[in-house]
Homo-oligomer: A and B are copies of this chain.
Amino acid sequence: MIKATIITIGDEILIGQIVDTNSVSIAKHLNRAGITVEEKISIGDTADQIERTLRHALQQSQIVIITGGLGPTKDDITKHTLAHFFSSAMHEDKTVAEHVRSMLEKRGIVFNELNRSQAMVPDCCKVLFNAHGTAPGMWFEDTQGNVVVSLPGVPFEMEHLMEDEVMPRLKSHFELHANIHRTMITSGLPESMLAEAIAEWEDSLPSDIKLAYLPAPNIVRLRLSTYDAASGEVAREKIDTLFEQLYKIIPEYIVGFEDASVQALIHEILVQSGKTLAVAESCTGGTIASRFTAMAGSSAYFLAGIVAYANEAKRDILGVNFDDIKQYGAVSEQVARQMAEGARRISGADYAIATTGIAGPSGGSAEKPVGTVWMAIATPNKTITRLRQCGTDRGQIVNRASAYAIEMLYKELKKEAV
């Protein structure tokens, strides 16, 4: 089994100033190629700790991917530390120097000594050309054939280097087997009841197949995994068979497969049916619109979103009756219904989603506490509404209300399809 350790470097990770998404993307790349990530480690910008962690990583894995610490400033020490670790001198790489100079020129930036230092690389490494930035990637091999790769921490640059340079080289350097994962998305059964329902099947799983439960608001994902299969084809067939069995046990609770979010399932349905969608949001503040528009191709069906935060916006843009707002409150079934219907009307969309609620931290009352959210779905035939409690924390309320409202549309579309 070919194993990898991912090391992300930067004090900003250790003090919680940034969320580390680099290691997520690297883990995905490695996994898809059949490389098993043994451990992910985040450490600070200190030479000692970097060398110690690198030694630990090389004891347990044949591949080490390091990101961060390659900038031009003093707090960036990864490159020199790696040169020291591999007992290597450094030299200026002419291609990199030329590339840095031309990149900076285009942006109107003066080429100075600090930029020049970006072109210095350890003699013993192979330079990985960074077309999208000034810090080159580096590929080291030790005497045992283990590989250490150093990449810049800027996510976009790292991503391109992984895809264009690192993965092709890893695939030719190592003989890779397959890691196979398949995921089923269930909704409607809490984790413990789901586990009971599939207990017999779970107990009969072969030892090389791992089952994982991944609970999230309103859904539980079930993932079957096998690592380092000699034949990817055989392993996939085996997992497919088990997956079929699982499906037959709980067919009514399956809402999707693999990484598909519920909005991705709706995306598929709308693209194929040629129907269109609009959104009217109050408390979710644009989150539902952004979840749909984040998907490439959503312009085929997503016509418009209205974030009607002020009551006047609900009235003037969506046509909500102001007397109803006064009588029932902005957070009410009546307003949610009229928002959904208004969004359909002004956009001409076939379907509309609406949310209106109290995201907090203030604005709650005994009758309508923080977290109270009315949601509505308007279709060509009817409008349905629902009241849901979405939690106590502002971010949580926005996320849950968005997820619930999107799921409500999904269920409606599924019913119509029957």
Interface residues of A (CB under 8 A from B): 10-21, 23-29, 31, 36-45, 49, 53, 71-76, 104, 107, 109-110, 112, 114-115, 154, 156, 159, 179, 181, 183, 190-193, 195-196, 202, 210-215, 223, 225, 259, 279, 281, 284-290, 292-294, 296-299, 302-310, 312-313, 316-317, 346-348, 359-363, 391, 393-396, 398
Contact = CB atoms under 8 A, between A and B. Distances in A.
A14 B31 CA distance: 9
Nearest to A287: B290
Given A16-B29, A40-B43, 17 more contacts: A16-B24, A40-B41, A41-B41, A71-B213, A71-B215, A104-B190, A110-B193, A286-B286, A293-B398, A294-B394, A296-B394, A302-B307, A304-B309, A306-B317, A312-B347, A317-B317, A317-B347
Nearest to A43: B39
Contacts of A286: 279, 281, 286-290, 293, 305, 307
B41 A28 contact: no
20 contacts: A12-B223, A17-B223, A19-B20, A20-B20, A38-B44, A39-B43, A71-B191, A73-B192, A73-B213, A114-B196, A154-B215, A284-B290, A285-B298, A293-B398, A299-B363, A303-B310, A305-B309, A306-B317, A312-B347, A317-B347
A16 B26 contact: yes
B304 A17 contact: no
A37 B14 contact: yes
Contacts of A28: 15-16
A151 to B, nearest CB: 15
Counting from the closest, the 3 A-B pairs by CB-CB distance are: A285-B293, A286-B289, A305-B307
A305 B303 contact: no
Contacts of A44: 38
Given A202-B74, A395-B294, A109 B347 contact: no
A393 B155 CA distance: 11
Contacts of A107: 190
A188 to B, nearest CB: 11
A71 B211 CA distance: 13
A347 B317 CA distance: 8
Given A71-B213, A196-B112, A303-B312, A31 B43 contact: no
Contacts of A20: 19-20, 24
A19 B17 contact: no
A29 B15 CA distance: 9
A12 B313 contact: no
Given A28-B15, A42-B40, A195-B114, A347 B303 contact: no
A264 B57 CA distance: 40
Contacts of A110: 193
Contacts of A104: 190, 192
A181 B14 CA distance: 12
**Residue of A53, A74, A109 contacting most chain B CB atoms (<10 Å):** A74
**Residue of A41, A286, A290, A394 contacting most chain B CB atoms (<10 Å):** A286
A299 B309 contact: yes
Contact of A362 (B29, B192, B296): B296
A206 B225 CA distance: 52
Contacts of A159: 393
Given A287-B286, A310-B304, A24 B31 contact: no
Contact of A305 (B15, B18, B293, B306): B306
Contacts of A43: 38-40
A293 to B, nearest CB: 3
Contact of A16 (B31, B75, B225): B31
Contacts of A12: 212, 214, 223
A210 B381 CA distance: 63
Given A31-B15, A215-B154, A192 B112 contact: yes
